[in-house]
Chains A and B, each alone.
Chain A
Amino acid sequence: MTAVLHKAERDAVVRPRPARRARHPYALASALFLAPMVIVFGYFSWWPIVQSALLAFQRTNLVDPAQWVGWQNFANLFADPLLGTAALNTVWFTVLALIFGFPVPVFLAVVMSELRRGGGLFRVLVYLPVAVPPVVAVMMWKFFYNSDYGLLNGMFGLVGLGPFPWLQDTAWAMPSLVLEATWAGAGGTVLIYIAALTSVPKELYEAAESDGASIWRRIWHITLPQLRGVLLLMLLLQIIGTFQVFTEPFVMTDGGPEDSTATVLLLIYRYAFVYGDYGMAAALSVLLAVVLGLLSAVYLRATKTWSST
């Protein structure tokens, strides 16, 4: 206590400055360093966000001044029967992507971290799909899925299975998209998990091994609890990411067959760039952002207690 008082007194003597300045000795230099970022982000990122929020309440042809139309764009949106279909499809994609896409990278990361040899090779192999440009990857899978001369039906045909209607059937199309998305996206997530795994203290495994714990018990009782924070964050990021699924349905199916893969982002794209209704596109974008914001808030609140490691 005394020492603290002494320090304060000494400071008061040595630096007789107004208190406000004393708290921010580097304020101006900070502002200087921040300014370019703030201006660039403000102009190219935040201002367009504000603009598109405003656009949701306007009608414009981009030539004449925009007209304010109140909630009309949202009313038109809810009158579109495709909105409900697209919302359900998006949720369906997210659910499927979580079922297939979430455990796969965790599994791969754990297995690869257990490998004594060849880990580098596997990491390259797993990451390779991420290096393929998304559109190219989707086009490639579109070719694999071709039901007349595609690779997959050819392969299954060799063992007497199929032909399967990969993208040709309302029930099959969405899982087929998820399969491609999982293949394309898993590599990046695997690397993050592998990095997280290196921070798990070795002593825990050694102690478990000396207690005779099996590999599954070590994974269940050490690896997964230690990865909890990363897992929960990746889950949230995956939910947000999959809600915005666009490339797969756009390139592979264009929302078909019979709207079974029409997603919210595909609808936004069509409103803006096919139908030229920028107001409705902005309204749906705002709606999606609000839903994702709420979802994230609820998720973070719900997982607050579990994620504190």
Chain B
Amino acid sequence: MNRELARVATAGAAGALLLGLAACGGGSGSGGADGERAADGKVEITVAGMPPSTQPASQKDFLADVAAFEQANPTIKIKPTDTQYDVKTFAARLAAGQLETVFRVPLTDPPSMIKRGQVADLTADLKSLTHADFDTRLLAPASGPDGKVYGLPTEAYAAGLVYNRELFTKAGLDPDKPPATWEDVRAAAKQINDKTGVPGFGMHSTSNTGGWILTTMTYAYGGRMEKEEGGTYVPAFDDASTRTVLDLLKAMRWEDKSMGTQQLRNFDDMLRDFASGKIGMMVGAPNLFSGYKLKFGGDPDKFGQTTLPMAPGGGALLGGTVAVVSPKATPEQRQAAVKWIDYYYLRPKYDVALAAKRAKQRKADNLIAGLPVLPFFTQAISGPVIEAERANSNVPWANFDTYINGVASQEFVPEPPVAAQELYAALDTVVQAVLTRQDADPAAELKKAVEKVTPILDRSQQ
């Protein structure tokens, strides 16, 4: 090859590649939340959560909603994606500018995202909502320590106790009268184990779920995991409530032998074992019913749900999902995003006809329709909506009776405010110790956990 030509070709090839790469780098942000005002003067936002094409009726309905919304708001253009939030890809997508303007996260995540400045402050936009008079207990989990609101609830559940109704019957227990105290839980677990050979009670213990359920049970006993001292949060779990929970678990595991020998299970392991009838009872909320039936093929008629037994001062840990807005959104995009959240996620919570329609569509797609959830608004608004959902539901509501009747009067408690996931990870170890080592001393394990958690809380509040 002619040398001069080769040189030109080399430079040309390298230049073309660089240009290509530069185009890739620059292009990555354009579809994301930092996209600018479209050429036709419209504000463009991307929204996650479009049902995938495997759910045709729901997807069609979603796209119809998008079209109707755009018609009602001619200055807003919606770009839907069927992406679901995943904690593992969140950081990369945020950094690459590919995060949607609106996306939903589990209720466990907003506190740490707020702390890191990874979600937008929506306080100023709340007044634009059709019904801003939320049950304030539901806004708390997505509110920052500064009192500002960073997310809007789209589903809310209070932690309860799920149980296998068939195992209850086989063990000679009445499935319509589930345990009302922790002593009842222990006795029922032993009876199930003795009569059926199936572990009567199961406990999560890995991937931070051990700490999470320990927190849930501690709350039910009236305890808290963190407390404020002189303006900073310190561990509060080394107290009688958490020790009582651990003593109870220890007694069930080693004295009654009603928890089986297989431990170290995460959320999915537990749900799979529960759905296949290998666990009598476990801590869980109604939203488990979806995975129970659709993912693990559990029998709906065997699913029982009741409230968590509460000691004086006890409260139920809240779960569910929250719609949040990308921190890279412009003020116009943020306002448009809140309008969309109101239109798509909140409207079915106050519009009776829409609630019924959505439930029917979910039923048509063989999804779970009309799950018993916590009401968002006053009885006057939420009551008829819940009735409409129940009428079009494919969930055995009768199996949730004690839960629905009991949960209304419960106090709700949000996640620990500082470094909840790190706290849960440290407490996983405590739960694992109690479940896998007969000589583990709950009090000593809690002391060790305090030593682990204290520097984490200090670091998180730097």
A interface, CB within 8 angstroms of B:
28-29, 31-32, 35-36, 39-40, 43, 61-64, 76, 79-82, 146-150, 163, 165, 167-170, 253-259, 270, 272-276, 278
Contacts and interface: CB of A to CB of B under 8 A. Distances in A.
Contact of A148 (B1, B94, B261): B261
Those 4 A-B pairs whose CB atoms lie nearest each other, nearest first: A254-B206, A148-B262, A62-B95, A257-B432
Contacts of A35: 10, 13-14, 17
Nearest to A60: B95
A274 B436 contact: no
A169 B266 CA distance: 17
B177 interface: no
Contact of B91 (A149, A169, A276): A276
Contacts of A170: 436-437
Contact of A28 (B6, B205, B328, B437): B6
B16 to A, nearest CB: 10
Given A79-B455, A276-B112, A256 B428 contact: yes
A9 to B, nearest CB: 25
**B interface, size bucket:** 35 or more
Interface stretch (B125-133, B182-190, B417-425): B417-425
B262 A146 contact: yes
A32 B13 contact: yes
25 contacts: A28-B7, A35-B17, A36-B13, A43-B21, A61-B117, A63-B118, A63-B328, A76-B459, A81-B455, A165-B261, A168-B261, A170-B436, A253-B206, A254-B206, A254-B264, A254-B428, A255-B206, A256-B205, A256-B264, A259-B429, A274-B208, A274-B422, A275-B422, A276-B91, A276-B112
B452 A258 contact: no
B59 to A, nearest CB: 29
B91 A257 contact: no
Contact of B87 (A163, A168, A274): A274
B3 A163 contact: no
Contacts of A165: 261, 436
Contacts of B112: 275-276
Contact of B425 (A43, A168, A257, A270): A270
Given A165-B261, A270-B425, A278-B91, A39 B433 contact: no
B262 to A, nearest CB: 4
B14 A257 contact: no
Interface string B390-424: 00000000000000000000000000000101100
Given A39-B21, A63-B117, A256-B429, A163 B7 contact: no
Nearest to B424: A274
B406 to A, nearest CB: 31
Contact of A163 (B88, B261, B419, B428): B261
